[in-house]
A and B are shown apart, each in its own frame.
Chain A
Amino acid sequence: MMKYFLEVQGLAKRYPGPGGEQNLTVFENANFGINKGEFVCIIGHSGCGKSTILNILAGLDEASDGAVIMNGKEVVGPSLERGVVFQNYSLLPWRSTLKNITFAVRARWPDWSKEQVLEHSMKFLDLVGLKGVEQRKPSQLSGGMRQRVSIARAFATQPQLLLMDEPFGALDALTRGLIQEELLKIWEETHQTVFMITHDVDEAILLSDRILLMTNGPHAQVAESVSVSIPRPRNRTDIIHHPGYYKIRNHLVDFLVNRSKELTASAASDTTNTDNTEVSYDIHPVVVDPANDGSETAQQTQSKQAAK
C-alpha cells in the first residue's frame, strides 16, 4: 500500500443523543489520504460533516473515533503546519490588510527581522493582486478582496497542508471565477498541498487533482475518490472543452443527486445488521476515473491500487 502524506483513518464524529439516548453519528469510517502537492476537494450535501472533517484536520475539533496522521505524526491540536482559510475570511478587523498578513508571518517565523516579515508579507499580497490597499482595514475591502487577503495570509505561512472551508461560498459568481483563477495560478507556483471543501462541482473539477464524495448524513461516509484526469495548467474557458470534463461532471452530479442518498441508506442498514465496527472500519472510498474509463468497476480499481 502506498504511503500518503496525510492519512485519515477510521475518522468518526458522534454527538451524545439527548437524555442518554443513542449517539448521533454525523459521519464514520472516513478513510482517505492526500499526497504531497495534491489538490483535493471534498463535496457532499450539507450536514454530512465536511466542515467537521476539515476542523478535525485543522485541530480545531476532536474526532470521536479514528486518527489523522500527517508526515508520520498524529495530528493533535492546531498547528502552523496546517493553515486554514475560513469561509467568512476571519480577518482581524482592527488590523490593516498588511498587518493581518504580518500577524501570521510573525507567528510562523518569530525570529525574523521586521524587514524580512514585511518583505515576505508584501510578496504574498502582491501574489493575490492586492498591492496598493495594504493600509486599508478589512471593512474597507470588498468580499472578494477580503478572501484574497485570507488566502494570502494562509499561503504566506507556507503550511505543509492548506485547509480551505468553502472559501468562495460567500462570493458572487464573477468574483468567484476570478479568484479561482488566481488560486490556480498561485497553486501552480507553489504546489501547496490543499484540502478544500466546496459545493460547486465546476469549481472542484477546475481546481483539484482528486475529488472526494461524501454520502448524506447522518452516518455519512467518504464513498468515492474521483480522479480528475485533465492536464494542467487549466483555465476556466478551456477546461470545458476537454473530452473528459462532462464525463467527470456527470459522474459527480449523478452522485450528488441520486447515489448520495441511496448509499447512506444501504450503509445504515449494513451497520445495523452487522453491528460490528471492525468490519466497516476498513471501508475505503471507491477509486473512479470517469475521464479515462467511466465503466471501470470498483473491484478492478481496488485491485489495481493494490498492485501498485
Chain B
Amino acid sequence: MLTSQRFRATVLSLVLLFIFLGIWEGLNIVPTDVAPKSEYELLMGGASQEARVPPPSSVIKLAYKELSNPFYDVGPNDKGIGIQLGYSLYRVLTGFFFAALVALPIGFLVGMSPLMHKALDPFIQVLRPISPLAWMPLALFIIQDSEASAIFVIFICSIWPMLINTAFGVANVRQDWVNVARTHELGSFKTALQVILPAAAPTILTGMRISIGIAWLVIVAAEMLVGGTGIGYYVWNEWNNLDLTSVIFSILMIGIVGMLLDLALGRVSRLVEYEE
C-alpha cells in the first residue's frame, strides 16, 4: 500500500511536470512580424521581436550542454556551471563553518547561564533582523576584499538561527537528565559534553539546517553585488548578456543545490536524533 502510494505520487509528479512544461512550450510561439521589416531591422539581422522567455526545450538543450562539460574555464566571463557552483558552495561552507564556530559556544553559554541570556539577548534581538546584505558596504570597507566580504555576509546570516536554536536546546534540556549528571558527580565540562550536547543536538542541528538554507539564499544576492565568480554572479552576468535560457538554467541549479544541502544536513540530524 505504502509503496503503491509512493509510486502513484511519482507518477502524479511527472504528469504535473509534463503539463507545466507543455503549457510553457505551447505558449512559446516565435512572434512573426506583422509589418514588413524596416531597412534598419534588416540591417540588424531582423532580430527585433526575438526577445522572449525561452521555451523549456531550449533550456533542456542548454542544460545538457552545460552539464556534460561543467568544469570548463575559458576566461572570467565563461566558466562552466560546476565551477560557478563550486565557488558559491565554497563561500557558503566557509562562512557557515566560521558561524558555527562562533554560534555554538555562545549559544551554549546563553543557554546555560540565565545571566548571559539576559545580558546578550538585546544584542541578539537587534542584530538578528538586519538583512545580511546591509552589512556588505561596511564589510567591503573594513575587509577591503570582495571575496572575504561575501564570506562575511554568509557568516553573519548563518549565526543567528544556530545561536538561537543552540541556546534554546541547551536551556530546555530536561532537568531529570541534568540531575542524573549531578548525582553521578559529572563536572560541568563532562555534563556539557555527555548530557547537554547529546540532549540538545537535534535542536542544534535544526538551527544549522535553517542557517544553511538562509546562507544559500543570501549567497546569490551577495555574489550579484560582489561579482567575479559564483552562481549569483553567473545569473546576473547572463542577464546582462540577455541570455534568459542560461538564467532559467541557473535558477534551476540553485534550487537543486539548495535541496541537496538541506538533504545532507537532514541526514546528519537523523544521526543525532533520539526518541524519548
Among B82-90, B183-191, B223-231, B236-244, the stretch that binds chain A is: B183-191
Chain A 83-107 against B: per-residue CB contact (8 Å), 1 yes, 0 no? 1101010101111000000011001
Alpha-carbon distance A86/B198, docked complex (angstroms): 20
Residue B220 lies at the interface, judged by CB distance under 8 Å to chain A: no
Q: B184 contacts which chain A residues (CB < 8 A)?
A: 80, 103-104, 107-108, 157
Residue ID in chain A nearest B185 by CB atoms:
A80
Residue A300 lies at the interface, judged by CB distance under 8 Å to chain B: no
Chain B 165-199 against A: per-residue CB contact (8 Å), 1 yes, 0 no? 00000000000110110111110000000110011
Q: B198 contacts which chain A residues (CB < 8 A)?
A: 92, 94-95
Contact A78/B182 with A137-B274, A139-B275 known, Cβ cut-off 8 Å: yes
CB distance from A205 to the nearest CB of B (A): 28
Alpha-carbon distance A139/B276, docked complex (angstroms): 6
Q: Are A84 and B276 in contact (CB under 8 A)?
A: no
Within 73-132 of A, Cβ neighbours of B (below 8 Å) are at 77-80, 82-84, 86, 88, 90, 92-95, 103-104, 107-108
Within 19-67 of A, Cβ neighbours of B (below 8 Å) are at 58-60
CB distance from A78 to the nearest CB of B (A): 4
For B176, B184, B186, B194, the residue with the greatest tally of chain A CB atoms inside 10 Å of its CB is: B184
Q: Are B194 and A103 in contact (CB under 8 A)?
A: yes
Residue ID in chain A nearest B186 by CB atoms:
A107
Alpha-carbon distance A88/B272, docked complex (angstroms): 23
Alpha-carbon distance A163/B237, docked complex (angstroms): 71
With beta carbons under 8 angstroms apart, the residue of A59, A84, A104, A139 that contacts B274 is: A139
Q: B185 contacts which chain A residues (CB < 8 A)?
A: 78-80, 107
CB distance from B206 to the nearest CB of A (A): 16
Q: Are B195 and A60 in contact (CB under 8 A)?
A: no
Chain B 199-219 against A: per-residue CB contact (8 Å), 1 yes, 0 no? 101000000000000000000
CB distance from A164 to the nearest CB of B (A): 13
Within 218-273 of A, Cβ neighbours of B (below 8 Å) are at none
Residue ID in chain B nearest A105 by CB atoms:
B184
Q: A90 contacts which chain B residues (CB < 8 A)?
A: 176-177, 179-180
With beta carbons under 8 angstroms apart, the residue of B180, B182, B186, B274 that contacts A94 is: B274
With beta carbons under 8 angstroms apart, the residue of B179, B194, B274 that contacts A93 is: B274
For A77, A78, A82, A157, the residue with the greatest tally of chain B CB atoms inside 10 Å of its CB is: A78
CB distance from B188 to the nearest CB of A (A): 13
Chain B 237-276 against A: per-residue CB contact (8 Å), 1 yes, 0 no? 0000000000000000000000000000000000010111
CB distance from B198 to the nearest CB of A (A): 5
Q: A78 contacts which chain B residues (CB < 8 A)?
A: 179, 182-183, 185
CB distance from B192 to the nearest CB of A (A): 14
Alpha-carbon distance A157/B180, docked complex (angstroms): 13
Alpha-carbon distance A139/B198, docked complex (angstroms): 16
Q: Are B194 and A84 in contact (CB under 8 A)?
A: no
Residue ID in chain B nearest A84 by CB atoms:
B183
CB distance from B190 to the nearest CB of A (A): 8
CB distance from B137 to the nearest CB of A (A): 45
CB distance from A83 to the nearest CB of B (A): 7
Q: B186 contacts which chain A residues (CB < 8 A)?
A: 107
Q: Are B179 and A86 in contact (CB under 8 A)?
A: yes
Q: A86 contacts which chain B residues (CB < 8 A)?
A: 176, 179-180
Q: Are B180 and A92 in contact (CB under 8 A)?
A: yes
For B179, B183, B195, B276, the residue with the greatest tally of chain A CB atoms inside 10 Å of its CB is: B183
Q: B194 contacts which chain A residues (CB < 8 A)?
A: 103
Alpha-carbon distance A79/B194, docked complex (angstroms): 18
With beta carbons under 8 angstroms apart, the residue of B176, B182, B201, B274 that contacts A88 is: B176
Residue ID in chain A nearest B174 by CB atoms:
A90
Q: A59 contacts which chain B residues (CB < 8 A)?
A: 182-183
Alpha-carbon distance A58/B185, docked complex (angstroms): 12
Residue ID in chain A nearest B195 by CB atoms:
A92
Alpha-carbon distance A152/B183, docked complex (angstroms): 15
Q: Are B275 and A60 in contact (CB under 8 A)?
A: no
Q: B276 contacts which chain A residues (CB < 8 A)?
A: 93, 139
Q: Are B199 and A84 in contact (CB under 8 A)?
A: no
Within 91-135 of B, Cβ neighbours of A (below 8 Å) are at none
Q: B177 contacts which chain A residues (CB < 8 A)?
A: 90, 92
Q: Are A58 and B274 in contact (CB under 8 A)?
A: no
Q: Are B176 and A84 in contact (CB under 8 A)?
A: no
Residue ID in chain B nearest A89 by CB atoms:
B176
Contact A58/B176 with A93-B276, A139-B275 known, Cβ cut-off 8 Å: no
CB distance from B259 to the nearest CB of A (A): 28
CB distance from A80 to the nearest CB of B (A): 5
CB distance from A136 to the nearest CB of B (A): 11
Alpha-carbon distance A80/B180, docked complex (angstroms): 10
Alpha-carbon distance A94/B198, docked complex (angstroms): 7
Q: A107 contacts which chain B residues (CB < 8 A)?
A: 184-186
Contact A83/B183 with A90-B176, A93-B276, A137-B275 known, Cβ cut-off 8 Å: yes
Interface residues of chain A, those whose CB is within 8 Å of chain B, are: 58-60, 77-80, 82-84, 86, 88, 90, 92-95, 103-104, 107-108, 137, 139, 157
List the 10 closest pairs (A to B, CB-CB), nearest first. A139-B275, A94-B274, A107-B184, A90-B176, A78-B182, A93-B274, A78-B183, A94-B198, A84-B183, A93-B276
Q: What would 7 A/B residue contacts be, using CB atoms closer than 8 Å?
A: A78-B179, A79-B183, A90-B176, A94-B199, A94-B274, A95-B198, A139-B275
